[in-house]
Structure 1
Amino acid sequence: MDPRISFVTLAVADLDASRAFYVDGLGWSAALDVPGEVLMIRTGEHLVLSLWLAAEFEAEVGPIVRGPGVVPVTLAHNVATHDEVDAVLATARAAGADPVSEPFERDWGGYSGYFGDPDGYRWEIAFNPGPIGQVVLP
C-alpha cells in the first residue's frame, strides 16, 4: 500500500453552512456538489476534502460519537511565511470562522494559529521552517 491519503471526509451538521464557509467564504471550488448530501473540494494534487451531511455519513460508516469537547483531529494548511499565516487567518475569520487562537511563535520553531469551521473542526494555519514543513508546500 502506498503511503498516501486520498480523501479526508468530515461529517457536517449543515452542508449549506459548510458550502457558504468553504466555497463562498474561503473561495475554494467545489469539485462535486450534491445538495443535501456531500460537497467535495480538491485540496491538493491527489487529495479531496469531502464534507458529508452527518446523516449521509452515518448511513455509510455508522453512528457518530457525540458529546462535549473538540473532535480529536486537526487539519493543517501550511504556508511559506509568517505574513501568510496572518492573511489566511484573517480570510477565515472574515468568512465566519471561530477564532480559536491567535498565531504565535511555537516552541518547535514555527508560527501558527487556529480557527474553527462551522462544525468546530480545527484548522491550523502554520509556517513551519523545518524540512517537513517544506515537503507540504506547493
Structure 2
Amino acid sequence: MEQRISFVTLAVADLEASRRFYLDGLGWTAELDVPGEVLMIRAGEHLLLSLWDRAHFEAEVGPTMTGPGIAPFTLAHNVATPGEVDAVLDTARTAGAAVVHAAEQRDWGGYTGYFGDPDGYRWEIAHNPTPLGATVLP
C-alpha cells in the first residue's frame, strides 16, 4: 500500500448546511455535488474532502457513534504567516463557524487556532515555522 490518503470522509447531519458553510461561506468549489447524498471538495493535489449525508454514510460503513464531546481528531489547514491564521479564522466565523479556540502562540513555536464546522468537526488553522511546516504548504 502506498503511503498516502486519497479521501477524508465525514458523516454530516445536514448536508445542505455543510454545502452552505464550505461552498458559500469558505468559498470552496465542489468536485462532485449530489444533493441529499454527498459533496466532494478537492482539498489537495490528490486529496478530496468527502461530506456524506449521515444516513448514506451509515448505509455503507455502519452505524456511527453519537454522544457528548467531539470526534477525537482534527483537520488542519496550514498557512504561511500568523496573520493568515487570523484571516482564515475570521472567514470561518463570518461563514458561521464557532471559533472554539482563538489563535495563540504555541509552546512548540507555531501559531494556531480552531473552529468547528456545522457538525462540530474541528479545524486547526496553523502557522508552523519549522521545516516540517514548509512541507505541507503549496
Shorter-chain TM band: over 0.9
Provide the rounded CA distance (Å) in 2 between the counterparts of 1:94 and 1:88.
Answer: 10
Query: Are 1:83 and 2:107 counterparts?
Result: no
**How far off is 1:128 after superposition?**
0.3
**What TM-score do the two structures reach when normalised by structure 2?**
0.99
The residue correspondences of 1:63-102 to structure 2 (distance < 5 A) are: 63-102=63-102
**How far off is 1:73 after superposition?**
1.0
**How far off is 1:13 after superposition?**
0.1
**How far off is 1:131 after superposition?**
1.4
Query: Are 1:113 and 2:113 counterparts?
Result: yes
The residue correspondences of 1:1-138 to structure 2 (distance < 5 A) are: 1-138=1-138
Q: Residue 57 of structure 1: SS of its match in structure 2?
A: helix
Q: Deviations over 1:59-97 (max 9, x none)?
A: 000000111001111000000000000000000000000
Residue identity (%): 75
Q: Residue 89 of structure 1: SS of its match in structure 2?
A: helix
After TM superposition, where is structure 1 displaced by more than 3 Å over at least 4 residues in a row? none
**How far off is 1:132 after superposition?**
1.3
Provide the rounded CA distance (Å) in 1 between the counterparts of 2:2 and 2:128.
Answer: 25
**Which residue identity is paired with 2:40?**
M
**Which residue identity is paired with 1:75?**
L
CA RMSD of aligned residues (A): 0.4
**How far off is 1:56 after superposition?**
0.4
**How far off is 1:10 after superposition?**
0.1
